[in-house]
Amino acid sequence: MLARGASAANAYVVFPDYSDSTVPDTLQLDASTLRGDSVELLGRDGAIDAVPVISAGTKQWAGDECVEWPTATLGIVDTSRAAGWTVGFVQQHVASVGLDSLDGMPGADSAHLAADLTRLASALPDDTSKTFRGIPFSVRYAFRFQAAPGVDAVVADLVRRLNQEASPLEQHTLLIAERNGARPDAPFRVAYHERAGGLEETIETTDVLGALRLPSPAHVALVVLREGQDTSAYAMLERLADGSWHVRWTSVHTGC
């Protein structure tokens, strides 16, 4: 998988084969096999462009050194068109799924969806943290998408904050909710959720980079970035045939 780097023409080459618990003491990652391939660049809105990989390098991890992904240079001609890409895959391996942001909805629709999301988050049964009880949720982001034929879905991050003077705390609830697409007035139900809580400056947050459809059998997945104070990792959440969601993989955390 490619992830956008410092500019539109620069990409990190992410290898999902290893997690933090499985990476060996010394590892060399070779991305040079991508050279000459055509990759499909995706953004949150869907497919953006297909471009060639001009160059791709290698990266070695050894001992206690900082962990970094190999980088690749993309043959982008129209920089304005490709400016919004977030993730990329070798062509014909995935299909894009567009995400509709809460920010782009009409005011009444966005307010209604935000209210639905806070209601769902408040009703989750595993809220064991007494620290955040009674503190209202706010919606950090929300994206609507089609999870399957006839199934409307939304992925959102809801935040509760405790503004203590010395050490402000945050709790993030990532949730995916679904409803019958044939009934726009049908209520959403939570299909997946996870929580993270801690100090505002150190807590790991999760941002959605894009949605895609995987083949054999066709199903939808979300690519997310989990970003902490000094490290970050990529992950893929996928929807199974029974309608449940799970984390398919989480990459090694890069950084120092």
Q: In the predicted model, what is the mean pLDDT of the chain?
A: 91
Beta strands in 5-127 (DSSP E): 10-13, 26-30, 38-43, 46-56, 58-62, 71-74, 87-90, 95-97, 100-101
Q: Is the dihedral of CA 15, 21, 24, 26 positive or negative?
A: positive
- Residue 27's Cβ-side half-sphere holds a number of Cα atoms within 13 Å equal to 20
Residue 170: per-residue pLDDT: 92
Residue 234: per-residue pLDDT: 96
Tell me the pLDDT tens digit for each residue of 117-131.
999 999 998 776 778
pLDDT band at 151 (very low <50, low <70, confident <90, very high): very high
Write down the domain spans for the chain.
2-93, 100-215+227-255
Whether pLDDT at 63 is above 80: no
Contact 71, 5 (CB under 8 A): yes
Helix (H, G, I), strand (E, B) or coil at 102: helix
Whether pLDDT at 229 is above 90: no
